[in-house]
Structure 1
């Protein structure tokens, strides 16, 4: 198959996406003295944003419901499309006993958290943004002090660079921006992703939803679920059509929201097509009849405009296993 990453790929990766994307660690800090950072572009044009169901520009914090406010237009990453994933750490903690232990540990035990001396019990949400590059920016929110993080970064040899809004930014091999309760992390300090994410969150740069009706369609559907994923792509061709693998001709995006309810998790998958006419519910039935849904109960599908919506229930201990 092509560059497409299916739900199966993401679920099997589990901790390799948002679960451990923030866990790149802080090794290589010997380069911290080279960190100078980039000055903000005062002439940048603010985003022409419209309100969506997920939140407004005046909202504060970095909750899962606000994940869309962190997503810059793809040009910021020199790509046409990228994916994101967000997780509600609080719900994961509340249902620790229902998860496969290895899956739970992949979220709770991460190098970045331990190196910054962040307790998983104090973390609220995580958001990973996966541009087509070698780095994976991430946002983590919770109950922690910017001063404590700054002190720890200094101990690790990080150097402070120019501030961005209310964020202090530190760099070495990695780059970290921090304010009380929110940490922004990117593995590659030279890419300037941390500043891009912060300025996008602050409404200074254009967001994905301002330039992509497809991404807007996805984020308006999901917000408060435990796990949320979304990505867009160029429309797949007939040659790329693979219903049993979860890829369809005319598809331009996919998103899902997984809500952990205890021993079971409710799943909703939205497969977005270029036009209403592209939606092939027979192909969707091939998808839901495939082995991908072997562990699911109450699987159903329906068309909603140019979106095919698949719903089901899966045992939580099978989720991301």
Structure 2
């Protein structure tokens, strides 16, 4: 499915059901759009800054020259015209610079959080080897910031802070693997924007703001109950078998007949995929990123943990069936 660029720039949402190669191609389109927006905003920031500085400098120099000549009564008609021209050019440059900054601000929604489509790319690439050829994958992304107004779910006081609560269920991936299991991966980000104002004895009012949030990653697998009998009784084993990256917290384990679900909690500064450790050419940025919660690795480990429990359930069922056949009539 080709991305409708004009519609995407209106909604900043993506939804499709297609084979992995088609979805990866769409993710490349989103990455290209994001890179272009980042480049445009950098260029506008540089050109706007240069224009404002140049215009402001010309306007200030014009004003200083005008004041100096007026005090000495040395301003000629030609000099006055020159000052008018330079002052007008300076003001025009200031206006153009401000317009460039406004243009840059208008492009801000197009500067996407590249972690979001990056996470989709990594998970699609890892799942592709476990899918049947041309198996469809349903992918849904909300690439808007987590603090847009329609994601606000509540406003309340937290201590002395006026707090806005946001819930952003931005990522959903669903597919059926080659073995018949149905896999769903979801990610929800929760954000609190807090604000507090305080008036000092001198009458000055100071306003403090801060943000606090985290992300929840959930991986669930649905299978045929008759192939995995007794799965609903293995919650303790599933909890013990779950392996997660360091600092990632396992929040919830749910088991039922034919269904197993894990939910983990990550920092709001998670990364889609950090650089490979041990690479001598890896820059310092990647080394710092390695310390953050790796969402793609977390999802992969959760899926592997689920399959470890499913494998145990399957082996136990076969062993019990074999013992039943060996019993004398």
> Structure 2-normalised TM-score?
0.29
With normalisation by structure 1, the TM-score equals 0.30
When Rg is computed on C-alpha atoms for both structures, the one with the higher figure is 2
